Structure 1
Amino acid sequence: MRPPRLFNLMLTAFALVIVLGISGMVLSFWLVMGQANPGERRWMEAEMAARARATELAAYYRQTGSWRDVERQMGPLPQGFGDIKGSTWLLDANGRIVAGRRRPPILRGNEAVRRIPIIVDGRQVGTLVISVVDDEEAFPVGSVDRRTILLGIIGAGAGLMTILLVLATIFSRQLSTPLRHISAAAHAIAAGDHSSRVQPANVRELADLAASFNRMAAALQQADQQRRQLTADIAHELRTPLSIIKGRLEGIQDGVYEADDEQIEALLAEVALLERLINDLHLLALADAGQLPLYRETVSPVMLVNEAIRSFTQSATERKVALTTTIPSDLPDVDVDPQRIAQVLGNLISNALRHTPPGGEINLAVTADADNVTFHVRDTGSGIDSADLPHIFDRFYRSDRSRTRSSGGAGLGLAIARRLVEAHGGQIWATSQLGHGTTVSFRVPVASPLSPATSYEQEPAIHPTQWPL
């Protein structure tokens, strides 16, 4: 079951606050009414009714602007309110009686008098006077116990506040605890501990945030491991040729080797290896930074395949490997940098030649759809284990650990191919089965009609019969 959304949690919290607030007010009123004696409740009900009558009188004055004919229009004033009986008068602003008993009230000392001002537009326009005679000893007219009312309101408010504070604490912890864990994990990652993770929260948005944070931490941990491995691989790849060059130069200096053409050629070969490695690393760095220059042209896929065939025919012949093509007619042109795509094909064919035994075959095929042209390089080599297949495009990765640099390369060819294809907006992938060879494919977009026309003429595909091996 998925955790609740933050919106639903906050909505529930606000709804509880509203419900508890209303309930608290009702409870306060109930406590006040419950703590008052019956006589006090009778007086409070009477005064509420009297104030309601005063409100009606204020509305009449606001409408008519005077007290003329007030009793004719609204009826005579009641002689008492609720269960409390007494005398009632309506006085104007000057204290003259305009409604009720025409005789002024005569106070004998045992009356309770209530004077309720009538306010219209901020000005007192009259007074509703109620006079009640205290005939019952248990009925303290006009002396409601304010202390009891105050204590009831304070008690109800304190109880309501306690409940709200408990709910606020629960909801706050639901939100703050996961955020504190994420903050602590972020500080740990900033300090170098990329293994730090956070537990899923009980709120859906915070649970999604925790999952995203964990994915980010895992990616950072993997990137850090790759960086460390890359540094170690570069150091290893540079150390070996430098050690060879240093050893040979020291041998020549000590007279162990002669500075003849053979030694110079060996030194130049190691220098060329270093230069190629550095150039490959520089190309990858440019691709990673998005600064790899591409000089696009509209070219035919057939031309790209033919150039690759010509470049590797001699190497394939020497290894006794057949180099064939499968190219349909009417292929659309592609908008690519011909030198970069030739480099991709060269890396793929060179890699296939290293893994294809004598008597094997390497086939270059091209297919197309409405949006892309796909190149396939198939070989009949030993294949790649399924555990190694997801990593063959990683830098310095060799599926066969027993291969040396001279026989297996530095492990940058497929990484470079991937970055070059992605720089063209394409994709590259590989399929393989042990003992049945490997197929590496990549696709690039078809040239749009607005692309500049190519300066190359369409040339026929080179067929295997034209390149006997």
Structure 2
Amino acid sequence: MKIVGLSGKIIASMITITLLAILLVFFTAYLFYYFMDAFWPDYIFEDNIIPKGPELIWVAGTIIIALTITVTVAINLARHIVSPLNSVTKGIRLLAQGDLSARATSFHNAPNETNQLIRDFNLLAEKLERMTNEQRFWNAAIAHELRTPVTILYGRLQGMLDGVFTPDNHQFRSLLVQVDGLKNLVEDLRVVSLEESGHLNLRIQDVDLNTEITAVVEFMKDALATAQQDVELDLAANNTLCDPVRIRQALIALLTNVIKHAVSGHIKIQTRSIQNSLVLCVEDEGPGIPEALAPHVFTAFRRSSDNDVTGSGLGLAVVAAIARAHNGEASCHPTAHGGTRFEMRWPYKQTELTEKNT
């Protein structure tokens, strides 16, 4: 059996020390008695348990040489083992003190197990740093999103209490708009957080997707008309297994994104069955997505610019979360005429997902 790594290095070191000790005793004993016979042939060795005279010198010299060899091998072995472990220990200490950028140093001559420990520690530290940074970003982003509607609600209510605003239907409708925005923000945060934690449960059903899409378009016809958006339906897929509530939520988020950011014109909604997958597409006529934003378009709280204050920055993140929950994916692609094509793709059979959610 071939033994490699740290275990192999320890075993090899022990074997080396043992063999060197045996060879040392053998050769020093041979040399000792050779020189005694050659130069002191008349010396009489005493029959005694404790060596004396030349024998004591030979034993002491052999012990010193053996200890020197043992210490040398032990120091070399310890250097290969202890130094990397000290690096990991230092990194753990720095992490405990709050320095999330701390990393352990790799050693080329260290055993595989030790280097694997270093790699695992560095990976853990990297994930911890990334999660902490993301948590800080989310906390700041959520506080930013909540600040505006809460400030408006507080100001209007305080104004009505002080008599500055008349408590009429117009004021109540204005307050209701802010409350509705808060409700939608909380729901979007809930969907994204549940999906990231693996707890976004779906109610998978055999759904007529064309009916669901038509219902969403009908529901949003006033908002679409106000934004001067004309919708074309090209629905080639019929029944599929999915959570109809979540798919409607994703389609509403896609259409809301188009209403807020696309130029007035034409929206095309398509469904296709491609390679055992169902594809739902929403295509607008521009102005397209900035190149710098494209890789982050489905990331929560990412906007096209710092001056973009429309929406919460969660709509497309919700679309991606719902697609992933269906064992699928969301993507966006530029079109030939300068617009953007958003796609949701998921397996229309959903066998594994059905078993998971039943």
TM-score clears 0.5: yes
In the alignment of these two chains, the number of paired residues is 346
Distance 2:300 2:252 in 1: 17
1: CA distance, partners of 2:107 / 2:45: 59
1:232 partnered with 2:140:
yes
Measure how far apart 1:433 and its partner are. 7.8
Contact 2:270 2:281 survives alignment (8 Å): yes
Q: How big is each residue's C-alpha offset from its partner over 1:70-122, in whole Å with a ceiling of 9 and x where there is no partner?
A: xxxxxxxxxxxxxxxxxxxxxxxxxxxxxxxxxxxxxxxxxxxxxxxxxxxxx
Superposed displacement of residue 159, structure 1: 0.7
- In structure 1, what is the equivalent of residue 87 of structure 2? 181
User: % of aligned pairs identical?
Assistant: 26
Change in Cα spacing, 1:199 to 1:221, as seen in structure 2 (3 Å) is same
Whole-angstrom distance in 2 between the partners of 1:220 and 1:417: 26
1:398 is the counterpart of 2:306: no
Counterparts of residues 303-322 of structure 1 (less than 5 Å): 303-322=211-230
Structure 1 residues 182-230: Cα deviation after superposition (integer angstroms, max 9, x where no partner): 1221232233221111211232333333233223222211211111121
2:287 is the alignment partner of 1:385: no
Question: 1:136-285 maps to which residues of 2 (within 5 A)?
Answer: 139=42, 146-147=51-52, 148-202=54-108, 203=110, 204-285=112-193
Q: Take 2:229 and 2:117, find their aligned partners in 1: how far apart are those partners?
A: 54
CA distance in 2, matches of 1:283, 1:191: 34
Contact 1:421 1:427 in 2 (8 A): yes
* CA pair 383-13 structure 1, distance change in 2 beyond 3 A: farther
Partner of 2:278, secondary structure, is strand
Q: 5+ unaligned residues in a row in structure 2: which ranges? A: none
- On the 8 A contact 2:242/2:350 being kept in 1, the answer is no
Q: Alpha-carbon deviation of 1:283? A: 3.3
Corresponding residue SS for 1:349: helix
- 1:149 offset after TM fit, Å? 3.1
Q: Give the AA of the match of 2:130.
A: Q
Contact conserved, 2:326 with 2:353, CA < 8 A, in 1?
Answer: no
| Residue aligning to 1:339 | 245
Q: Quote the Cα distance in structure 2 between the aligned partners of 1:5 and 1:435.
A: 59
Distance 2:23 2:238 in 1: 77
Shift of 1:139: 4.3
The structure-2 alpha-carbon separation of the partners of 1:199 and 1:274, relative to structure 1 and needing over 3 Å to count, comes to same
Residue 23 of structure 2 corresponds to 23
Query: CA deviation digits over 1:434-458, x for unaligned, max 9?
Result: 9823333222223268999xxxxxx
Matched, 1:447 2:349: yes
Contact 1:322 1:361 in 2 (8 A): yes
Aligned Cα root-mean-square deviation (Å): 3.1
Q: Residue 23 of structure 2 aligns to which amino acid in structure 1?
A: S
For the pair shown, which has the larger CA radius of gyration, 1 or 2?
1
**Cα gap change, 1:156 to 1:333, in 2 (>3 Å):** farther
Q: What is the Cα deviation at residue 357 of structure 1?
A: 0.5
Could you report, residue by residue, the CA deviation over 1:122-146 in whole angstroms, capped at 9, with x for unpaired residues? xxxxxxxxxxxxxxxx646775895
Q: Following TM superposition, by how much is the alpha carbon of 1:282 offset from its aligned partner in structure 2, in angstroms?
A: 3.1
CA distance in structure 2 between the aligned counterparts of 1:223 and 1:232, rounded to whole angstroms: 14
Gap change, CA 1:269 and 1:158, over 3 Å in 2: same
Q: CA deviation at 1:346?
A: 1.6
Equivalent residue, structure 2, for 1:89: none
Query: Which residue of the partner structure matches residue 32 of structure 1?
Result: 32
Task: Quickly say closer, same or farther: Cα 1:223–1:292, change in 2 above 3 A.
Answer: same
Judged with a 3 Å threshold, the aligned counterparts in structure 2 of structure 1 residues 327 and 198 are, in CA distance, closer, same or farther, namely same
SS at match of 2:265: coil
Q: Which residue of the other structure, out of 368, 376, 387, is the alignment partner of 2:274? A: 368
Distance 1:337 1:35 in 2: 94
Query: Which structure: greater helix fraction?
Result: 2
Could you tell me how far apart the structure 1 residues matched to 2:95 and 2:146 are? 31
> Distance in 2 between the 1:437 and 1:420 partners?
23
Cα gap change, 1:142 to 1:233, in 2 (>3 Å): closer
What is the rounded CA distance, in whole Å, between the counterparts of 1:345 and 1:223 in structure 2? 29
- Cα distance change on mapping 1:225 and 1:241 into 2, 3 Å: same
Contact 1:425 1:444 in 2 (8 A): yes
- In 1: Cα distance, 2:314 partner to 2:351 partner: 35
Distance 1:376 1:38, change over 3 A: same
SS of aligned partner of 1:387? coil
| Kept in 2: contact 1:374–1:441 (CA 8 A) | yes
Contact 1:296 1:336 in 2 (8 A): yes
Amino acid across the alignment from 2:132:
D
Correspondence for 1:428 among 304, 316, 330: 330
Which residue of structure 2 lines up, in the alignment, with residue 412 of structure 1?
314
Q: Is the partner of 1:36 in helix, strand or coil? A: helix
Give 1:333 deviation, angstroms: 4.2
Any idea what the Cα deviations from partners look like across 1:272-327, whole Å, max 9, x if unmatched? 21222223223334334444332211224434433343334443333233323444
Instruction: After TM superposition, give the deviation of residue 173 of structure 1 in Å.
Output: 1.9
Cα distance in 1, alignment partners of residues 292 and 224 from structure 2: 29
